[in-house]
Amino acid sequence: MPMKTMRFGVCGFAVLFLFSALSLNAQQQVTFPSGDGQASGLLYLPQGGGAHPAIVVIQEWWGVDSWIKEQATNFAAHGYVALAVDLYHGKVADSPEMAHELMRGLPQDQGVRDLVAGFKYLESRKDVKHDRIGAVGWCMGGGYALQLAIAEPELKAVSVNYGALATDRDQLAKIHAAVLGNFGGQDRGIPPEAVHGFEGAMKILGKPVDAKVYPDAGHAFENPNNKTGYRPEDAADAQARTAKFFEQNLGR
Written as one string, the DSSP assignment of 12-69 is: TTHHHHHHHGGGSPPPEEEEEEETTEEEEEEEE--SSSS-EEEEEEE-BTTBS-HHHH
* Predicted pLDDT at 29: 97
Strand partners, 211: 181
Task: Tally Cβ neighbours within 10 Å of residue 239.
Answer: 22
Residue at 35 is within a domain? yes
CATH of residue 28's domain is 3.40.50.1820
d(CA 84, CA 99): 17
Percent with pLDDT over 90 in the chain? 87
Residue 216 backbone phi and psi in degrees, to 5: -95, 5
Residue of 21, 11, 5, 224 whose CA lies nearest to 136:
11
Residue at 177 is within a domain? yes
Segment 210-233 mean pLDDT: 97
Residue 226 belongs to domain spanning: 14-250
Segment 18-40 mean pLDDT: 76
* Predicted pLDDT at 13: 39
Residue at 148 is within a domain? yes
Residue at 26 is within a domain? yes
The predicted model scores a pTM of 0.90
Residue at 6 is within a domain? no
Residue with the bigger pLDDT between 17 and 200: it is: 200
Residue at 214 is within a domain? yes
* Predicted pLDDT at 178: 98
* Predicted pLDDT at 2: 45
Residue at 3 is within a domain? no
On the 0-12 / 13-18 / 19+ scale of CB atoms within 10 A, 40 is buried
Residue 20 has pLDDT above 80, yes or no: no
For 53-65, the pLDDT digits (tens) are 999 999 999 999 9
Average pLDDT, the chain: 91
* Predicted pLDDT at 4: 39
Query: Which of the four pLDDT bands, split at 50, 70 and 90, describes residue 25?
Result: low
Residue 5 has pLDDT above 50, yes or no: no
Residue at 9 is within a domain? no
* Predicted pLDDT at 16: 40
Q: Count up the domains in the chain and report the number.
A: 1
Query: Which of the four pLDDT bands, split at 50, 70 and 90, describes residue 160?
Result: very high
Query: Which of the four pLDDT bands, split at 50, 70 and 90, describes residue 192?
Result: very high
